Structure 1
Amino acid sequence: MKNTKMGRRAMLAGAGVLLATPRLALAAWPERPLRILVAFPPGSSTDVVARALAQKFTENTGHAAVVENRAGAGGNLGTQAVKASSDGHTLLMHSTAFCVNPSLYRNAGYTLEDFATIAVVATAPNALFVHPSIPATSLAELIAHIRANPGIGYAHSGTGTTPHLGAELLFRTLARVEATPVAFGPAQAATAVVGNQAPIGSTSLPPALPLIREGRVRAIAVAGAERDPNLPDVPTVAEQGYPGFAATTWFGMFAPARMPAEALRLLLAEVPKAMAAPDLKARLAALSLTDPGLSGEAAASFVRREATTWAEVIRTSGATAD
């Protein structure tokens, strides 16, 4: 009888070890702070989302997540750095340009297959706005002004971003006017319009929103499918004579394709959980950022579709970064 009881205890103990093994393996990662490389400068929408997400991830899991900015070459430098990482603790936060650049550059230094998509964590409409000296309050008036001043410069968020490609599609292909794109970082593009370095701006809405509210720039149009709740009186591009036009910017988190499977499992669970937190949602909504609720394969499929869509825009517009 004694041996039977001891045998049962041994069996139960063995079963407990087996059941605990996956949990222990998962708990062993991360072994050190996560590094989230942002492909754009501080103050960009990508940076804002990354820092908010890193803070919530740390609160939820107890594992530190630190954000580093690795800007340059339209986001390619940061992307290449994450692709080359082998520590299993380095992630990439990027914008729509992630799926655009392999078509826009002769050699972006990566392909979509080099990464695993964790989540598309936020989207924002793009916006067109002008320096107060520009005599335009509508898109029709802005197009007329550009036609009367061919080659006038417009500041955009960076080569290959949807504020750049969307503006090229609108100006050159649809309206058939000539405006000269001038690349800045997203936040820098907005302040360049304030300083009249370039009198027209095309960025995602978040960096322009406070400047619009302060009256330092004038909003002409938002490029989302619907008006933005933060600017209900500003019509969309589609409402102003270009039906069906929509250009938004999304922000995603990616990992190197060789990221350990247990790490990906944890990230696929914890990143959406962090984004779903009511306080984080409210914080981002105030900046016109919305969580689309896409993670894992659903997010990867979305990214692939976006790559196809923007590759066609690049082909038809003739846009290039080389």
Structure 2
Amino acid sequence: MSIPESFDPSRRTVIGGLAALSLGAPLFAQAEAWPAKPVTMVVPWPPGGPSDIAARPLAKGLQDLLGKPFVIDNRGGSGGNIGTAAVTMAPADGHTLLVTSSAPIVINPSLYKKMAFDPAKDLIPVTNVIKVPQVLVVHPGLGVNDVQGLLAQVRAKPGFVFGSSGNGTPQHLTGELFADAARAQMTHVPYKGSAPAISDLMAGHVPMLFDSLSSILPHIRSGKVRALATAGAKRSSLLPQVPTLAEAGLPGIESYGWYGLFVRAGTPAPIVQQLSEAALKVMKSPDFQRVLAETGSDFVGDTPVAFAAFVRTETEKWSRLVKLSGATID
């Protein structure tokens, strides 16, 4: 049997290899598709908290958009550290996500002497989801109607008390920022969460506190507490009559309760990109826009690169305030 002169063994090998790759490509693509199974969205706080306001509509939108279940897993404890640590120990395949407030990401590393994770190394920021301003509120019986009136009392009474939702929380540290800007010596009273702090404010046991707009707004509207200023860069659309702290004579105080989406470090870049694009699409939907309007939050969706830069800036700001306040948990 003669071999045709045109026969080239190397060419046949290449063609055969390409054919095999071609046949295998759909299988490979299918194996790499995301999401390939239900996705767990960890919220490192008890159910019903502000983080749920961000997580639940985001999870529903992603589920509808991507066709796989997105299940909320509330894992509270240790200032958000327990649930956050669980995400850093999950497989880096995009099937375990984190939606959390700022605390375990930018405050706790300075507040706790020991943590089971390093958010700067163990997590990838995907996008900011909701950002609502902190609001300065007082008991109506305090007899002040504006920030300057409050400052007069604070400066006249060294040790003037302010409450917060807990040691080292954004609410506490915003109060410390206020005391620093006012050049006043104030006494912090920490509570175990916003609810008991607000209850004591309404009962007149503490005269003032800062809390996020989404938590305090119903009590402002009921008249049980009085809003003096917001800590945002501009007035809130839900409280247009309330000035910012800068407008009220205390510039340089900008503080938000923000809630972001993260994945474990090592998650493939294509999955991070797909998740980012899907999340932004959900956040632009009418359903999510209603959530933003109800919480007084502007659209804050951004790219992983932009969100990572924001997180670094926030980390620097809050670490300085933790040192200023002397707050510690351990």
Does TM, scored on the shorter chain, surpass 0.5?
Answer: yes
Q: What is the match of residue 286 of structure 1?
A: 294
In the TM superposition, what whole-angstrom CA distance separates every residue of 1:156-188 from its partner, at most 9, and x where no partner exists? Answer: 234333222111111245331313231333455
Q: What is the match of residue 248 of structure 2?
A: 240
Change (3 A) 1:220 1:30: farther
Q: TM-score, normalised by structure 2?
A: 0.84
Q: Percent same amino acid at aligned positions? A: 36
Report SS of the residue matched to 1:294.
coil
The residue identity in structure 1 corresponding to 2:112 is Y
After TM superposition, the structure 1 = structure 2 runs for residues 116-265 of structure 1, keeping only pairs within 5 Å, are 116-147=124-155, 150-151=158-159, 153-172=161-180, 174-196=182-204, 198-261=206-269, 263-265=271-273
How much has 1:14 moved relative to structure 2?
6.6
* Inter-partner Cα distance in structure 2 for 1:72 and 1:149: 36
Is the 1:154–1:179 contact (alpha carbons within 8 Å) kept by the matching residues of 2?
yes
Change (3 A) 1:17 1:308: same
* Structure 2: segments with no counterpart, 5+ residues: 1-14
- For this pair of structures, how many residues does the alignment match? 312
Moved more, 289-298 or 213-222: 289-298
How much has 1:235 moved relative to structure 2?
1.1
The residue identity in structure 1 corresponding to 2:215 is P
In the TM superposition, what whole-angstrom CA distance separates every residue of 1:276-322 from its partner, at most 9, and x where no partner exists? Answer: 21331122222112231213122112111211122222233433333
Which of residues 111, 116, 121 is equivalent to 1:109?
116
- CA-atom RMSD in angstroms: 2.7
* Inter-partner Cα distance in structure 2 for 1:225 and 1:154: 23
The residue identity in structure 2 corresponding to 1:27 is A
The residue identity in structure 1 corresponding to 2:114 is N
Report SS of the residue matched to 2:140.
coil
Q: What is the match of residue 57 of structure 2?
A: 52
* Inter-partner Cα distance in structure 1 for 2:128 and 2:237: 21
Change (3 A) 1:212 1:191: same
Q: What is the match of residue 36 of structure 1?
A: 41
Q: What is the match of residue 90 of structure 1?
A: 96
* Inter-partner Cα distance in structure 2 for 1:150 and 1:71: 36
Q: What is the match of residue 319 of structure 2?
A: 311
Is the 1:45–1:186 contact (alpha carbons within 8 Å) kept by the matching residues of 2?
no
How much has 1:21 moved relative to structure 2?
5.3
Q: What is the match of residue 5 of structure 1?
A: none
The residue identity in structure 2 corresponding to 1:208 is I
Is the 2:45–2:77 contact (alpha carbons within 8 Å) kept by the matching residues of 1?
yes
The residue identity in structure 2 corresponding to 1:29 is P
How much has 1:65 moved relative to structure 2?
1.2
Q: TM-score, normalised by structure 1?
A: 0.85
Is the 2:46–2:75 contact (alpha carbons within 8 Å) kept by the matching residues of 1?
yes
Is the 1:222–1:237 contact (alpha carbons within 8 Å) kept by the matching residues of 2?
yes
